[in-house]
Amino acid sequence: DAGVTQSPTHLIKTRGQQVTLRCSPKSGHDTVSWYQQALGQGPQFIFQYYEEEERQRGNFPDRFSGHQFPNYSSELNVNALLLGDSALYLCASSLARGSVLTEAFFGQGTRLTVV
């Protein structure tokens, strides 16, 4: 079992550009959530995808968008990058059972640096 895999591991972009990050969930998991972890802070929830739709969204602007594919993998897109978007982006996979999250597995993250 490969666990949750994310690509790329590191990325450097220029302010104003667009970026796409990718995530493959743990085998058997159907739900993908994305988190932003700024330096020295805890992860912040961006949004969650299940059945190829955005189910929940945190307090992030529309510049942040995503997609889930039929094989449950997911992409996070960020448009018009700002310096403040520099962070570690974490993908978490889980199984959609009930209304409460009981377990989530995280990938190694993508370190995005905006210059």
Binding site for another protein (CB under 8 A): 4, 6, 31, 33, 35, 40-45, 48, 55-56, 58, 90, 92, 94, 96, 99-109, 111
Work out how close the CB of 95 gets to another protein at its nearest, in angstroms, rounded to a whole number. 10
CB nearer another protein, residue 34 or residue 78 = 34
The CA distance from 32 to 50, in Å, is: 7
DSSP strand pairing (53-57 vs 64-68): unpaired
Phi and psi dihedrals of 20, rounded to 5? -125, 125
Work out how close the CB of 111 gets to another protein at its nearest, in angstroms, rounded to a whole number. 8
